[in-house]
Each structure stands twice: as structure tokens, then as C-alpha cells.
């Protein structure tokens, strides 16, 4: 009983990780950039979600605004921060990304205040019995549903549309894709839009679960999402999904049964190290 | 407005800048103040600064320290030891401070306290809890409870005053949570408490699903959970959301309006040990609570009350000893007894505060009086 409940809690956490890490793995797959500032976009999603919900009373509207706004901002980040650095070694872009992330945290603090924001009346807090006496709030169920929905949509898009084919071709061999007439710049912008929009969705959902958005909300995702994409096999979407869920479940049991030895973050990295020793290429090989 | 001349504007600016100092003119007495104004602890840091500034305003409005105004020399330490240490050196060697106050967390306060001690400059920790801070030496004092002391008070509160026996502990795994847990565990048997389980979490955790599930299965009669408002808010709301409805007992880290805002209706009935009584009729406490609301624009909290108290203690000692001799100032702090918003403050041989513990409860969306624990034996801090 408790076992099932802990698995469910782990899956909820894993779904959040998956939404965040997916954008990161998309960017890495395409540009070989470790996009640390992705976590800042996740935080911004949370802020937009809380502010729009508090003003309009509509969570759907807030989610849409967060995904659209932050998605566009993701494209701006690519245009202003990464594109000028594409010819440089990858660590240059990484440093720019870290700088951007730290700056964003302080900008949020100045603009939105240091105490963080909360929903005036948090939506989706109703308890639902999902069977076996396990109570979950609607928000938790929505997180999982959203992760499954978005990822299924993404999988379908990449497999069944011309844009998806162009995207996969660009990931596999950018030069060849370009010479076949694919506008790889367009693919890159789209990539940043989708990844950032997913991170924003995760930000809104985390805000809902905790009823708190803080300037430093992205601190943990900033490095844990990196661990997840390495774990999943850099650049692999399916691997990322698998790694996110596995990590969520391992943390769930770990915090309860080994929390006095290792905290949640340490557990995540111990798992990462263990996997990399056995499978240096990650759980699934990169796309 | 455009008819104002430049010199009139300048005069207005000067008047504004010096306005709060009723005793402007005399040379100010400088007190160093390290506080986290950016980074993860910025929320507490900003309240801490407001509390300290309020105390300075009040002291200066009442004539300052023997005719001279107090002045805070404020530095942002980001709650980081590597920031706090050089700032302490700069305050002491270059800024001409006579003493320092920490409005920061334990890590940075510990780092700064050794430097203050080496330079024989008095230093008061307003709300950092680590036991080693006052052990830096005889120039270092603390106006808030050590974690162990407050943990013992928590055990008395749960075991004796609330009559709960089976307790689950949820412990924040930093110095604050660990020292609270140590004090609680030590005193628990004395009050008939059986600790049925204990879980640790990290300061960055906001998602407690697994721990909540396990606590629910443990079926305790009460939960002793350490943390700050930004961890306790999500924790309490997730506990209640999962149908865990036994009393949750916290500490001063919860103490602030933001906890109630985050946890919402789930905050109702949460009881904490702290040092500020919101329903106090004591004029000192009222002046602080009202003054803080006016200055900050939000209700008073524990960190603001703590830095306010620390500044008043310093001002009182400065009145007695004067700013010239730091050894005399240290002796004056050690010997002083001050009535402040957080109660009657005096120090033991180690520089640890001796005072009562206030117990507050959330009712109708606000903190209110629940009880006061006045037990000098139980609450005695270590002497060395």
C-alpha cells in the first residue's frame, strides 16, 4: 500500500523532471549546448502562472500565457545569448548560460520580491481517490497527465510531420540537412520555443503543487535536469523520459528510507554515478 | 513642480537623507550589519534589515546614544561564509565600526564571528542558531535561542502542554533543523514522548509527497517539523492535503505572514515556538509590531523582531559603556538586561540569551498567543 503510494509520488515528481529536462535535451541534441538558463525559464513560467491566475482567475489562461510567453522568450535567449556564440567552443555558451541563470534569479527577486508569490486561491486542490485509498490532489494528477500528453504530442509531431522530419534530420546531421534545403535556423527557433514552453508548463505545475514561486525555484532543476539528460543518454528524448521517471521514483523511496544518510540531491547523483559506471552512454543512447 | 530650483531640490534631498536622525549633527556611532539581501535567504534578510533599521530609527528619535545617532553599516553577505568573512574584515578595519550585528544565517555568522573575536570587537548574532557561534569567544553574543533550547521547549509543548505522546519528526538537514532535533530528542523522554519516526529533508525541497505518505502510514499523534516558512508552507499544505490532520508543531523558522499565505487554510492550528508574541500588550512589543508593519508594509516576523532586539541591546550597552573602549562595551553587553520586543534579554557566561519561549498558533489567518514557556532550567543554554 505504502509501496504503491511512494511509486505514485515518485511518478509525479518524475513527470515534473521530464517536462523540465525535455527542453534541455532538445537543445543539447541540436546545438550541443548545456542550457543551464533553461531553469530560469521554468521559474518564469511559475511566476507568469501565479500572476495571470491571480488576476484573471483562470488557470488555463495562465498556462497558455506562460507557455506562449516563455516559449517566445526561449527563442529570444537563443537569438541573443547562444547564436552569437555558436562558432565558439561549447564551454563559452555554457558560461553565458550560467551567467544568464544567475542574473535571471536576481531580476526575479527585484521585480517580483524576495518572499516569492503564492496563489490567492490555489486551483486544482481537490482530493481524488485514484484507487486503493491513495489520495492525490487534482494538481498532481494534472502534472502526470500533462507530461504524458505533451510528450505523446511531441513524439507524434517528430514522427508524422514535415517539421518533425526536418528536426530529426537537423539533429542527426545539420550540414546534410541544410544542403537538403532544410532551414536549420527555423528548426532551432522551434526547438527553443517547444523546450521553453514545456519548462514553463512545469513551472506552473510546480507553483500549483507548492503554492510558492521563489526567485531561486530553478536552482535544483538547473543541475538536476543536467543529471537527468546525462542519465538518459545525452540528446535522447526517450532516455530522458525514462531517466526522469526513474529518478523520481528513486528519490521517493530514498527520501523516506535513506533520507538521514543522503539527501534527495545526493541520492540523485549517487544514482547517476552508479548508472554511468555500468552504462557510460546513459540509459539509452543519444539520438 | 518645475519651479523648484536645483538648490531647493538639493536641500530637500539633504533634509530627506538626514530626516530620520533626530540627533543629526553629532558624529554617528557606526554598527556593522551583515545580512543576506540577495540569494536564497534574501526574504529573511530584507525583514532582518527592516527590523534593525526600525530599532535605529527608534533609538535616534529618542535622542540616540548619549546624544550621538546610531548608524548601520550594511553589507549583503548572501548568507555565505565566503562573503561574510571579508566583509567582517572590511567593517572592522576600514569602516570604523564599534561593534557588529549579524542579521544573517549560521554559516555566514560563524565565519564573521571568528573575525570579530580576533579583532576584539563585540558581535551579536540576532537569529543564527549554530552552537559554535558564541564559542568563537567572549566578544560574541546571541539574542535568539539556540536550536537545542528551542527543541527542548518543543518537547515540553507537545508532551506536557498538548499531551501528545507518539510524535513523528520531519527534520530540515541543516544546522538549524539538526540542532532543534537534537534538543527535542534529548528532552522527549522527560515529557513521555515516543518518537515513532524521523525523516530528513534538504533546504531546497518543496515537494514532500513521499515523506507525507510515510508519515500518514506511521499514524503519529503529532508532528514535530523543523523548517523555514518556504519549506514549512508547502510541507504543511501537503500534509493536510493528504488527510493528515494531527497537530503540526514548528519553530521560529515558520514565524511570518508568508507561511500562512503559502499554506492557506492548512496553516490553521499550526503551533510554533518562537520569540515574538503578536497579542502582547507590552509597550515595547507593540511599538515594534506596529512600527514594523508601517515600515515594511507587511506584518512583523521573527527575524525582524530578532535584529530589532539585537540593535536595542547594543544601543543599551553603548549608552552604559560608550563607544570608545571595545572591552568595556563587551562587558556592558554581558551585564545588560534589556526589555525588548522579544522579551527580557540577558546573557549567560557564554553570551547565550536567557529568556522565555513564546508559543504562537495560527487562528483566522494570523499568528496569535497560545502559551508562554517560562522554565529557566529547561531553557538554560550551555555555559561553555
pLDDT by residue for chain B (384 residues), tens digit each?
A: 344 455 554 544 444 444 444 445 678 999 999 999 988 888 899 999 999 999 999 999 999 999 999 999 999 999 999 999 999 999 999 999 999 999 999 889 999 999 999 999 999 999 998 888 999 999 999 999 888 999 999 999 999 999 999 999 999 988 889 999 999 999 999 999 999 999 999 988 998 989 999 999 999 999 999 999 999 999 999 999 888 999 999 999 999 889 999 999 999 999 999 988 989 888 889 999 999 999 999 999 999 999 999 999 999 999 999 898 999 999 999 999 999 999 889 999 999 998 899 999 999 999 999 999 988 888 888 887
Distance in angstroms between the alpha carbons of the first and the last residue of chain B: 63
Separation between Cα atoms, residue A118 and residue B260, nearest integer Å: 10
- The pTM of this model reads 0.85
* CA A22 from centre of chain: 5
Question: Quick one: pLDDT at residue B15?
Answer: 45
Q: How far lies B151's CA from each of B108, B147, B172, in Å?
A: 22, 6, 13
Contacts by residues B290-295 (CB-CB < 8 Å, ≥ 24 positions apart)? B291/B54, B291/B57, B291/B58, B292/B50, B292/B51, B292/B54, B295/B50, B295/B53, B295/B54, B295/B57
CB-based burial of residue A273 (10 Å sphere; 0-12 exposed, 13-18 middle, 19+ buried)?
A: exposed
Average pLDDT estimate for A254-283: 83
Separation between Cα atoms, residue A149 and residue B94, nearest integer Å: 60
Q: Check residue B297 and give left, alpha or beta (phi > 0: left; psi -120 to 50: alpha).
A: left
Question: Quick one: pLDDT at residue B382?
Answer: 85
Question: Quick one: pLDDT at residue B25?
Answer: 63
Q: With contact defined as beta carbons under 8 Å apart, do B65 and B29 qualify?
A: yes
Q: Which of B35, B46, B209 to mutate to test the interface with A (most CBs of A within 10 A)?
A: B209
Separation between Cα atoms, residue B140 and residue A177, nearest integer Å: 68
pLDDT at A187 over 50: yes
Q: Which chain B residues are within 8 Å of A118, Cβ to Cβ?
A: 233, 261-262, 264
CB contact under 8 A, A210 and B202: no
Q: With contact defined as beta carbons under 8 Å apart, do B54 and B295 qualify?
A: yes
Query: In degrees, to the nearest 5, what angle opens at C-alpha B286 toward C-alphas B285 and B289?
Result: 85
User: A60-71: b or e for each residue (b if 16 or more CB lie within 10 Å)?
Assistant: eebbbbbbebbb
Instruction: Summarize pLDDT for A13-44 with one digit per residue, the tens.
Output: 999 999 999 888 888 888 888 899 999 999 99
CB contact under 8 A, B200 and A263: yes
Q: Which chain B residues are within 8 Å of A135, Cβ to Cβ?
A: 241-243
Question: Quick one: pLDDT at residue A285?
Answer: 61
> Cell match 536622525: residue?
B21
Question: Quick one: pLDDT at residue A287?
Answer: 42
Separation between Cα atoms, residue B312 and residue B101, nearest integer Å: 11
Residue B329, classed as helix, strand or coil, is helix
Query: In degrees, to the nearest 5, what angle opens at C-alpha A30 toward C-alphas A24 and A32?
Result: 75
Give the helix/strand (H/E) hosting B187.
helix B175-187
Q: With contact defined as beta carbons under 8 Å apart, do A17 and A224 qualify?
A: yes
Nearest Cα of chain B lies from the Cα of A156 at a distance, in angstroms, of: 31
Q: With contact defined as beta carbons under 8 Å apart, do A48 and A65 qualify?
A: yes
SS3 per-residue string spanning A59-109 = HHHHHHHHHHHHHHHHHHHHHHHHHHHCCCCHHHHHHHHHHHHHHHHHHHH
Q: Which chain B residues are within 8 Å of A115, Cβ to Cβ?
A: 43, 258
CB contact under 8 A, A2 and B242: no
Separation between Cα atoms, residue A133 and residue B181, nearest integer Å: 32
User: Which residues 6+ apart lie within 8 Å of B80 measured at CB?
Assistant: B36, B39, B107, B108
Distance in angstroms between the alpha carbons of the first and the last residue of chain A: 38
Q: Which of B207, B212, B231, B242 to mutate to test the interface with A (most CBs of A within 10 A)?
A: B207
Listed in sequence order, the DSSP H helices in chain A are: 2-31, 38-56, 59-77, 90-112, 138-160, 162-172, 174-179, 184-210, 219-231, 237-257, 264-278
Question: Quick one: pLDDT at residue B18?
Answer: 46
Q: With contact defined as beta carbons under 8 Å apart, do A263 and B201 qualify?
A: yes
CB contact under 8 A, A252 and B210: yes
Task: Select, from the ranges A234-243, A253-262, B313-322, the one with the highest average predicted confidence (pLDDT).
Answer: B313-322
Using an 8 Å CB-CB cutoff, list residues of chain A that contact chain B: 1-2, 5-6, 9-10, 12-13, 16, 106, 109, 114-116, 118, 121-122, 125, 127, 135, 137, 140, 206, 209-212, 214-217, 219-220, 251-253, 255-256, 259-260, 263-265
> What cell was used for B381?
543554554
Cα–Cα nearest to A247, from A38, A17, A3, A20: A17
Q: How far lies B325's CA from each of B66, B89, B94, B347, in Å?
A: 15, 19, 17, 20
Question: Quick one: pLDDT at residue B5?
Answer: 52
Beta pairing partners, B363 = B366
Amino acid at each position: 500500500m505504502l509501496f504503491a503510494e511512494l511509486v505514485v509520488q515518485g511518478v509525479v515528481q518524475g513527470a515534473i523532471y521530464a517536462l523540465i529536462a525535455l527542453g534541455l535535451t532538445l537543445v543539447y541534441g541540436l546545438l550541443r549546448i548545456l542550457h543551464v538558463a533553461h531553469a530560469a525559464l521554468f521559474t518564469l513560467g511559475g511566476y507568469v502562472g501565479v500572476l495571470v491566475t491571480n488576476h484573471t482567475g483562470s488557470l488555463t489562461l495562465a498556462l497558455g500565457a506562460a507557455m506562449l510567453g516563455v516559449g517566445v522568450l526561449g527563442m529570444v535567449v537563443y537569438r541573443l545569448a547562444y547564436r552569437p556564440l555558436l562558432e565558439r567552443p561549447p564551454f563559452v555558451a555554457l558560461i553565458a548560460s550560467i551567467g544568464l541563470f544567475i542574473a535571471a534569479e536576481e531580476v526575479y527577486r527585484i521585480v517580483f520580491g524576495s518572499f516569492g508569490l503564492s496563489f490567492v486561491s490555489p486551483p486544482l486542490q481537490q482530493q481524488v481517490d485514484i484507487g486503493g485509498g491513495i489520495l492525490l490532489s487534482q494538481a498532481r494528477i494534472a502534472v502526470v497527465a500533462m507530461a504524458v500528453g505533451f510528450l505523446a504530442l511531441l513524439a507524434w509531431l517528430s514522427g508524422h510531420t514535415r517539421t518533425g522530419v526536418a528536426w530529426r534530420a537537423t539533429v542527426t546531421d545539420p550540414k546534410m540537412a541544410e544542403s537538403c534545403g532544410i532551414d536549420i535556423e527555423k528548426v532551432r527557433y522551434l526547438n527553443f520555443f517547444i523546450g521553453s514552453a514545456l519548462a514553463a508548463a512545469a513551472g506552473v505545475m510546480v507553483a500549483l503543487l507548492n503554492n510558492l514561486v521563489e526567485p531561486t525555484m530553478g536552482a535544483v532543476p538547473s543541475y538536476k535536469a543536467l543529471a537527468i539528460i546525462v542519465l538518459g543518454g545525452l540528446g535522447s528524448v526517450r532516455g530522458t523520459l525514462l531517466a526522469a521517471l526513474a529518478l523520481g521514483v528513486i528519490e521517493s523511496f530514498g527520501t523516506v528510507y535513506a533520507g538521514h544518510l543522503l539527501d534527495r540531491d545526493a541520492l540523485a547523483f549517487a544514482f547517476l554515478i552508479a548508472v554511468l559506471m555500468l552504462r557510460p552512454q546513459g540509459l539509452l543512447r543519444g539520438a | 513642480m518645475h519651479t523648484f530650483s536645483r538648490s531647493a531640490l538639493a536641500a530637500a534631498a539633504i533634509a530627506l537623507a538626514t530626516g530620520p536622525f533626530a540627533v543629526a549633527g553629532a558624529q554617528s556611532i557606526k554598527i556593522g550589519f551583515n545580512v543576506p539581501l540577495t540569494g536564497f535567504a534574501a526574504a529573511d534578510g530584507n525583514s532582518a534589515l527592516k527590523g534593525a533599521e526600525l530599532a535605529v530609527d527608534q533609538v535616534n528619535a529618542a535622542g540616540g546614544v548619549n546624544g550621538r545617532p546610531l548608524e548601520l553599516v550594511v553589507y549583503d553577505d548572501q548568507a555565505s561564509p565566503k562573503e561574510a568573512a571579508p566583509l567582517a574584515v572590511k567593517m572592522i578595519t576600514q569602516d570604523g565600526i564599534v561593534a557588529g550585528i549579524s542579521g544573517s544565517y549560521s554559516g555566514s555568522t560563524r565565519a564573521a564571528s571568528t573575525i570579530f573575536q580576533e579583532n576584539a570587537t563585540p558581535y551579536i548574532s540576532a537569529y543564527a542558531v549554530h552552537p559554535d557561534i558564541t564559542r568563537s569567544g567572549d566578544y560574541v553574543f546571541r539574542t535568539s535561542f539556540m536550536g537545542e533550547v528551542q527543541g527542548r521547549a518543543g518537547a515540553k509543548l507537545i508532551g506536557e502542554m498538548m499531551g501528545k505522546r507518539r510524535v513523528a519528526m520531519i527534520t530540515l538537514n541543516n544546522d538549524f533543523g539538526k540542532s532543534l532535533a537534537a534538543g527535542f530528542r534529548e528532552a522527549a523522554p522527560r515529557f513521555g514522548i515516543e518518537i515513532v519516526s524521523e525523516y530528513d529533508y534538504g533546504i531546497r525541497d518543496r515537494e514532500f509527497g513521499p515523506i507525507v505518505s510515510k508519515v500518514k502510514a506511521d499514524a503519529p499523534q503529532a508532528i514535530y517539523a523543523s523548517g523555514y516558512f518556504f519549506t514549512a508552507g508547502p510541507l504543511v499544505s501537503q500534509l493536510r492535503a493528504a488527510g493528515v490532520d494531527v497537530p503540526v508543531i514548528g519553530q521560529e523558522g515558520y514565524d511570518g505572514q508568508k507561511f500562512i499565505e503559502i499554506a492557506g487554510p492548512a496553516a490553521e492550528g499550526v503551533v510554533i515556538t518562537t520569540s515574538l508574541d503578536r497579542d502582547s500588550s507590552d509597550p515595547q512589543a507593540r511599538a515594534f509590531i506596529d512600527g514594523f508593519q508601517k515600515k515594511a508594509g507587511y506584518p512583523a516576523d521573527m527575524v525582524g523582531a530578532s535584529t530589532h532586539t539585537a540593535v536595542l541591546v547594543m544601543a543599551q550597552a553603548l549608552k552604559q559603556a560608550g563607544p570608545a573602549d571595545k572591552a568595556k562595551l563587551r562587558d556592558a553587553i554581558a551585564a545588560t538586561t534589556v526589555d525588548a520586543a522579544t522579551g527580557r534579554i540577558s546573557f549567560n557566561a557564554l553570551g547565550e540569551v536567557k529568556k522565555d519561549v513564546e508559543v504562537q498558533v495560527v487562528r483566522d489567518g494570523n499568528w496569535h498567543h497560545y502559551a508562554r514557556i517560562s522554565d529557566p532550567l529547561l531553557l538554560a543554554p550551555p555555559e561553555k
